[in-house]
Structure 1
Amino acid sequence: MSAPAIFTVPEGFTLHKENTSAILLPAAGNDTFLNPVQEFNRDLSVACIRTWGATANAEKERKWAERRARQAAGGGGGGHKAKKLKSESCV
């Protein structure tokens, strides 16, 4: 892990930090609305989305592995069946 960055805050600005991010906000007439509850909600949403994504990817990997195993065993499992062509008989 790298060492934290050292910030030089220019005159007329304040530094706002959240986790590993930092932004400069104007000090005078600062109408910026920073909601600490939203920071928690965003972090929770990101954690849930990452967990769901990992679970979904694991399920896809499991299905792909099963399909490859069926194909290797000669059971097909490709999901695509070849159609037989109808042949017209000449009488």
Structure 2
Amino acid sequence: MIRLDVGLPRSRWFALLGCLLPCLVLAELVLAAISVMFIGWEAGMEVPGVLFLVFLVVANSIVAVSLARHYGNAFWLDGRVLIRRSVTGRRH
């Protein structure tokens, strides 16, 4: 039986979650450390530190929504049944 599959293959998910995500987390830890240094450094540097932290929260939200959207864009035919993968489960 031929399986028609639309979506990111396993190798691409491995690259996204196994290689890109740890690098992203490391960069975010460096930015968080810099923002904490700004907050505790001088009296006038709290605003840039808080802005860095807000930027980190927004960036993490965008990455999470993007990964969930790409994960939910997988469809395949299993015989005559179309299966859609989503974050909450599979729909037939």
Normalised by the size of structure 2, how large is the TM-score? 0.37
Q: Which structure's CA Rg is the greater one?
A: 1
Higher relative contact order (CA 8 A, sep 6+): 2
Q: Name the structure where helix makes up a greater proportion of residues.
A: 2
